[in-house]
């Protein structure tokens, strides 16, 4: 038997299929990785784990145990998914799911949490932070304070005080770090500490240039804020400063040593005096549905909210109808086969869609200016028409600018939808005696709505939250006269939420803003669900 025969005999007739199966298993995606792929995977996972470990220590220091636990679970899940040899679908889905959880689910859950708190100006931290801030507030120099010789140092951009007490003890501290012994400090001939390893002394010129920063430094005497801090007025000597507000942990009260007023915790997230005066800052607490109740029970806020909701619905509805109507009209006109130069006209029509909306809003704001705007100067002979300061003209201006920005999108969508409808259907309708308008209304428009109805719904939802046009053009104005809040005639719910959250009127109120954001979410969700159910009727056209 020859070598070839022996090989054929040993391999047998099934050798080729077995080799093909082995090759397929070795090259199946997700089962084997190249050396470069493995190295890249290790490096990427190492970076992810390093950031996760840093976040773990940071969250542990802040005692955010729930967020810490979720972060650990996600990190472990990522490592398990990408260190396995199989599970290819999970490797592709994991980044998208992770981003969805971080930027959508977490944001929604956190917004819902804030909506049931009093978070806002003066109520951002916890009670311990508030007590610390109150204890260091309004500090005054202690009359019998000893004089400390001072050298101002710097380390990694942070200023530090090197202090020499009258008895010769040397300490160092910063605004965030209480004073601690510095026995290895360098001293001059008079015994004053002038340098310390790891720190850079400031020169006289630097002291003059940074005197505002130096005056703002307050080094805590100890870990107890009530013990006061060390501050300087000239950069060469420091004295003890102590607040006249002292916290008593046993009675949970703050006493003003100057007036004798006692401030108590009444359960509202702040210390309040018998006269109703509250100390600032307070702290964040759960308030239940108080934010939602304020939105509907406070007269000024309720009236403004009703007006804003009505205008939001009107703006969204009119924007969709106007943009769709103009876009469909132009798409129909430029869909005529015998028209010349259609490509050039279409390019010109989509130019407004090519410019950023916020930039277009600023440009139109200048053009509609009552005194020197292009519109008044050129088209109305210099007349001072209050396009942006009269309530009804401002609403008209907002709708007009949004139409200018929005019709190109509808023009493109309707052009594509019209071109997908066979011409034979319209010809058949005309042969049956239908007029062009009736053929369009009875044949083309229903078929067109099958394609564009979902887009109309999403456009309505987009205009419901159309922040750019409103804020860049009118900033929500003109402001209502009968409200203390910064709410105006062209404000949408989204711009009202922005103003409430970031304090353009009566201060920042994150709790109320989050409650209003939940209201927006519920309203849009209900409307979208109803409209999408109604669009199912269009499917019967097919």
Region of residue 185 (left: phi > 0; alpha: psi -120 to 50; beta: else): beta
Whether the per-residue pLDDT at 9 is higher than 60: the answer is: no
Q: Are residues 327 and 412 in the same domain?
A: yes
Whether the per-residue pLDDT at 7 is higher than 70: the answer is: no
Q: What is the pLDDT of residues 386-426, one digit of tens each?
A: 999 999 999 999 999 999 999 999 999 999 988 888 878 87
Q: Are residues 337 and 442 in the same domain?
A: yes
Q: H/E element holding 211?
A: helix 211-216
Q: What is the pLDDT of residues 231-269, one digit of tens each?
A: 999 889 999 999 889 899 899 999 998 889 999 998 999
What pLDDT does residue 241 have? Answer: 93
pTM: 0.77
Q: Are residues 259 and 404 in the same domain?
A: no
Percent of the chain with pLDDT strictly greater than 90: 47
Q: Are residues 224 and 352 in the same domain?
A: no
What pLDDT does residue 537 have? Answer: 61
Average per-residue pLDDT for the chain: 86
Q: Are residues 398 and 475 in the same domain?
A: yes
What pLDDT does residue 6 have? Answer: 45
Please state whether beta strands 271-272 and 262-265 pair in parallel, antiparallel, or not at all (unpaired).
antiparallel
Task: Say which DSSP state 334 is in.
Answer: T
Q: Is there a domain that residue 472 lies in? A: yes
Q: Are residues 372 and 396 in the same domain?
A: yes
What pLDDT does residue 301 have? Answer: 85
What pLDDT does residue 538 have? Answer: 59
Q: Is there a domain that residue 153 lies in? A: yes
Whether the per-residue pLDDT at 24 is higher than 80: the answer is: no
Whether the per-residue pLDDT at 27 is higher than 50: the answer is: no
Q: Are residues 248 and 349 in the same domain?
A: no
Q: How confident is the model at residue 133 (pLDDT cuts 50, 70, 90)?
A: confident
As given in the structure block, the two tokens for residue 268 are 């509202």
Contacts of residue 150, defined as CB under 8 A and 6 or more positions apart, other chains included, come to: 161, 162, 163, 164, 232, 235, 236, 237, 238
Q: Are residues 81 and 26 in the same domain?
A: yes
What are the strands, taking DSSP E only, across 70-201?
139-141, 148-155, 158-164, 170-173, 180-181, 186-187, 193-195, 200-201
Q: Which of 16-25, 41-50, 493-502 has the lowest mean pLDDT?
A: 16-25
Q: Is there a domain that residue 291 lies in? A: no
Q: How confident is the model at residue 138 (pLDDT cuts 50, 70, 90)?
A: confident
Whether the per-residue pLDDT at 211 is higher than 70: the answer is: yes
Q: Are residues 233 and 330 in the same domain?
A: no
Which residue segment(s) compose the domain that 52 sits in?
Answer: 16-114
Q: What is the CATH number of the domain that holds 31?
A: 1.20.58
Q: What is the pLDDT of residues 463-508, one digit of tens each?
A: 999 999 999 999 998 998 877 778 899 999 999 999 999 876 567 8
Q: Are residues 316 and 251 in the same domain?
A: no
What pLDDT does residue 540 have? Answer: 57
How many domains are there within the chain?
3
């Amino acid at each position: 038997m020859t070598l070839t025969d022996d090989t054929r005999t040993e391999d047998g007739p099934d050798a080729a299929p077995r080799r093909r199966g082995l090759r397929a298993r070795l090259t199946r995606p997700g089962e084997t990785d190249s050396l470069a792929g493995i190295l890249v995977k290790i490096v990427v996972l190492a970076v992810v784990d390093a950031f996760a470990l840093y976040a773990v220590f940071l969250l542990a220091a802040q005692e955010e145990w729930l967020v810490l636990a979720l972060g650990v679970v996600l990190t472990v899940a990522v490592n398990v998914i990408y260190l396995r040899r199989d599970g290819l679908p999970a490797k592709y889905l994991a980044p998208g799911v992770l981003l969805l959880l971080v930027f959508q689910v977490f944001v929604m859950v956190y917004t819902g949490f804030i909506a049931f708190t009093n978070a806002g100006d003066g109520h951002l931290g916890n009670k311990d932070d508030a007590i610390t801030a109150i204890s260091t507030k309004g500090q005054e120099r202690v009359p019998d304070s000893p004089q400390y010789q001072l050298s101002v140092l710097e380390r990694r951009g942070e200023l530090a005080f090197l202090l020499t007490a009258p008895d010769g003890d040397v300490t160092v501290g910063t605004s965030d770090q209480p004073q601690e012994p510095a026995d290895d400090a360098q001293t001059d001939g008079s015994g004053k500490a002038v340098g310390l390893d790891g720190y850079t002394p400031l020169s006289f010129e630097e002291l003059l240039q940074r005197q505002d920063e130096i005056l703002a430094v307050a080094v805590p005497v100890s870990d107890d804020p009530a013990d006061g801090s060390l501050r300087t007025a000239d950069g060469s000597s420091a004295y003890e400063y102590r607040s006249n507000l002292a916290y008593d942990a046993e009675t949970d009260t703050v006493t003003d040593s100057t007036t004798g007023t006692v401030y108590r915790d009444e359960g509202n997230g702040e210390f309040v005096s018998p006269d109703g005066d509250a100390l600032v800052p307070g702290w964040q607490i759960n308030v239940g549905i108080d934010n939602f109740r304020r939105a509907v029970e406070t007269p000024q806020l309720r009236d403004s909210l009703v007006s804003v909701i009505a205008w939001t619905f009107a703006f969204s509805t009119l924007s969709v109808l106007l943009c769709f109507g103009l876009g469909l009209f132009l798409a129909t006109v430029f869909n005529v086969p015998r028209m010349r130069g259609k490509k050039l006209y279409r390019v010109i029509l989509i130019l407004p869609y090519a410019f950023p909306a916020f930039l277009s809003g600023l440009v139109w704001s200048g053009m509609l200016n009552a005194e020197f705007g292009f519109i008044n100067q050129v088209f109305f002979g210099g007349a001072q028409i209050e396009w942006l300061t009269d309530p009804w003209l401002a609403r008209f201006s907002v709708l007009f600018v949004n139409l200018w920005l929005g019709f190109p999108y509808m023009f493109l969508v309707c052009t594509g939808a019209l071109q997908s409808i066979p011409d034979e259907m319209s010809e058949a309708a005309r042969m049956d005696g239908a007029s062009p308008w009736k053929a369009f209304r009875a044949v083309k428009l229903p078929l067109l709505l099958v394609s564009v109805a979902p887009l109309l719904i999403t456009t309505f939802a987009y205009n419901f939250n159309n922040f750019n046009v409103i804020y860049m053009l009118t900033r929500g104005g003109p402001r209502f006269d009968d409200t203390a809040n910064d709410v105006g005639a062209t404000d949408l719910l989204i711009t009202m939420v922005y103003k409430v959250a970031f304090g353009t009127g009566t201060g920042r109120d994150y709790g109320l803003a989050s409650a209003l954001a939940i209201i927006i979410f519920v309203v849009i969700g209900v409307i979208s669900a109803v409209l999408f159910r109604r669009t199912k009727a269009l499917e019967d056209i097919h």
